[in-house]
A and B are shown apart, each in its own frame.
Chain A
Amino acid sequence: AQKITQTQPGMFVQEKEAVTLDCTYDTSDPSYGLFWYKQPSSGEMIFLIYQGSYDQQNATEGRYSLNFQKARKSANLVISASQLGDSAMYFCAMREVMDSSYKLIFGSGTRLLVRP
């Protein structure tokens, strides 16, 4: 079975600094997709970035980049130039294919607090 592990329950970062949130995964499928979502206290899950297993380059979206190390089965999220609004829960997720569709398997999340 597929599994996502996030080992950092909580992290602090100083405003304007970069921070890395860890994510490791386990799957036997050669084709898979990895996602990062941000969940503010309001509850909505906001899609940040996607990495496909066959993508040659690490994904980037603005201040977000994904450090994808396939051999190590890790997909760490890097947030550059942290802002106060980045304070939230961050979830790493993997797409698990089922019959005719897919579902997302989520990690337990990392709570990020940006200090002014």
Chain B
Amino acid sequence: KAGVTQTPRYLIKTRGQQVTLSCSPISGHRSVSWYQQTPGQGLQFLFEYFSETQRNKGNFPGRFSGRQFSNSRSEMNVSTLELGDSALYLCASSPISGQGSTDTQYFGPGTRLTVL
């Protein structure tokens, strides 16, 4: 079974631009979560989607948004990029991710975004 895939793997943008990152979950997984990883803040939760609905969002400004399609693929968008948005963006998928679930989140290789 193919793992989580993320595209692109590397991205360089300038301040003020916007960017869209893509994530394809493991086949059959319906929940997709996004995390931001920076040297200063570590790994932080961005948001989680299930059945095309955002169920939860982390403490990030409204410039960070996302969506999920009917095939469970997900995209996240960052508008008006700032230097501090430079990070590794990781996507994770799990089968259900219900409240009482013991599901494991499986991560993709990440997209490394550099904002100049």
A residues near B (Cβ < 8 Å) are 31, 33, 35, 37, 42-47, 50, 52, 91, 93, 97-109
Please measure, in the bound complex, the distance between the C-alpha atom of A23 and the C-alpha atom of B16, giving whole angstroms.
39
Residues of A within 8 A of B61 (CB): none
Residues of B within 8 A of A104 (CB): 33, 35, 43, 45, 92, 105
Q: Is the CB of A99 within 8 A of B108?
A: no
Q: Is the CB of B106 within 8 A of A102?
A: no
Which residues from 1 to 48 on chain B have a C-beta closer than 8 Å to any C-beta of chain A? 31, 33, 35, 42-43, 45, 48
Residues of B within 8 A of A35 (CB): 104-105
What does DSSP make chain A's interface, helix, strand, loop or mixed? strand
Q: Is the CB of B48 within 8 A of A101?
A: yes
Q: Is the CB of A43 within 8 A of B112?
A: yes
Q: Is the CB of A91 within 8 A of B104?
A: no
> How many Å from the CB of B4 to the closest CB on chain A?
9
Q: Is the CB of A33 within 8 A of B102?
A: yes
Residues of A within 8 A of B105 (CB): 35, 47, 104
